[in-house]
Amino acid sequence: MKKLILVYNPISGDATFKYKLDDIIAKFLQRDCIVIPYRTQRENLQPFRQFIRNIEVDGVIIAGGDGTLHEIVNIMIHEGIDLPIGIIASGTSNDFASFLGIDVDLDAYIDTIASGKTIPIDIGKIGAGYFINVASAGMLTCVAHEVDRRLKNALGKMAYYLRGLGELPHFRAFPMTIHADEHIFSEKVFLFLILNSGTVGSLKNVAVDAQVNDGLLDLLLVKKCKIQDLMSLTAELMAGKNITTRKNVIYLQAKNITIECAVPLDSDLDGELGPRLPLTIATLPGKMKLFYTKQ
């Protein structure tokens, strides 16, 4: 019988996951899996560090949004915990789970976890921190951190879009120098995304060649352009169209990326506030294991 930790964030998304907890535990029990729930505490995950070091389990299931996933992945890597993870999407944004399609059918995914089937997944490293889905910086990053939690809970993903669209006319470009493996270039940039998957901000098809276990990260950079071109590009992105070939976009894959900026600018890691630029990013191929069966 498998023994699993179920880490859940009680305030992720619409904050209703806690009411589904008994049903989910029952689903695991039906598949001969014992579940040990662990409720995250706001701004204090130190007890989880101690908890996960002192209990023997076969895997860690993370229920929450991208921010919860980011925090638990960082704890596990820092603590040297080599256990497969599973993801139950219950946050406002669940981009990594959505890209892999594991947020579509919970019962089918619990079957996958119970089977023990896993794949290796890459992780991005920045300084002493890690990201599982995306590192970014630019005006859209600023907007994401300014969205009020009450608005986010009420409107979900739409809160980001409404705030972002309202700020488009005020966007400014930042002078940056980028080293991506053998590529070196300088540009004035509205936004850059360094992606492990092809989904970010619930927008699909952002990085058309992205795979979570190819040993590479995907860099998508939006260069300074006229506001009408930026609005057109944004509309295509929201419609799920491929923008990687647009003249104002640079898209490439690399294992190691360094980005410098001539002005102070904070980054974003998986929706959480990250370090200030410059950034040195490395791909850690197959760093973690994910419960997953390809559809």
Tokens describing residue 82: 């080599």
Tokens describing residue 76: 């596990």
Do strands 183-195 and 174-180 pair parallel, antiparallel, or not at all (unpaired)?
Answer: antiparallel
| 38-46 CB contacts, 8 Å cutoff, 24+ apart | 38/5, 38/6, 38/7, 38/8, 39/8, 39/10, 40/7, 40/8, 40/9, 40/10, 40/64, 40/68, 40/71, 42/11, 45/71, 45/72, 45/75
Which CATH fold would you assign to the domain 131-286?
Tumour Suppressor Smad4 (2.60.200)
pLDDT digits (tens, 9 = 90+) for 245-291: 999 999 999 999 999 998 999 999 998 889 999 999 999 999 999 99
Same fold, 2-116 and 131-286: no
pLDDT at 163: 46
Domain range 2-116, CATH architecture: 3-Layer(aba) Sandwich (3.40)
Which class for 120: exposed (0-12), middle (13-18), buried (19 or more C-beta within 10 A)? middle
Bridge partners of 129, per DSSP, are: 126
Q: Where are the domains of the chain?
A: 2-116, 131-286
> With b meaning 16 or more CB within 10 Å and e meaning fewer, what string describes 216-253?
bbbbbbbbbbeeeebeebbeebeeeeebbebebbbbbb
Neighbours of 261 (CB within 10 A): 20
Per-residue pLDDT of the chain (295 residues; tens, 9 = 90+): 899 999 998 877 677 788 899 999 999 999 999 999 998 876 666 788 888 888 889 999 999 888 899 999 999 999 999 999 999 988 777 899 999 999 889 999 999 999 999 999 999 999 899 999 999 998 766 544 444 444 344 434 444 444 445 555 567 889 999 999 999 999 999 999 999 999 988 788 899 999 999 999 999 999 998 888 888 888 888 888 899 999 999 999 999 999 999 899 999 999 888 999 999 999 999 999 999 987 5
Residue type, 265: L
Q: Are 100 and 54 in contact (CB under 8 A)?
A: no
The number of residues in the chain equals 295
| SS3 letters across the chain | CEEEEEEECCCCCCCCHHHCHHHHHHHHHHCCEEEEEEECECCECHHHHHHHHCCCCCEEEEEECHHHHHHHHHHHHHCCCCCCEEEEECCCCCHHHHHHCCCCCHHHHHHHHHHCCEEEEEEEEECCEEECCEEEEEHHHHHHHHCCHHHHHHHCHHHHHHHHHHHHHHCCCEEEEEEECCEEEEEEEEEEEEECCCCECCECCCCCCCCCCCCCEEEEEEECCCHHHHHHHHHHHHCCCCCCCCCCEEEEEECEEEEEECCCCEEEECCEEEEECCEEEEEEEEEEEEECCCC
Tokens describing residue 92: 């406002």
Least Cα distance to 68 among 37, 90, 98 occurs for 90
pLDDT at 169: 57
For residue 59, how far is the Cα from the chain centroid?
Answer: 20
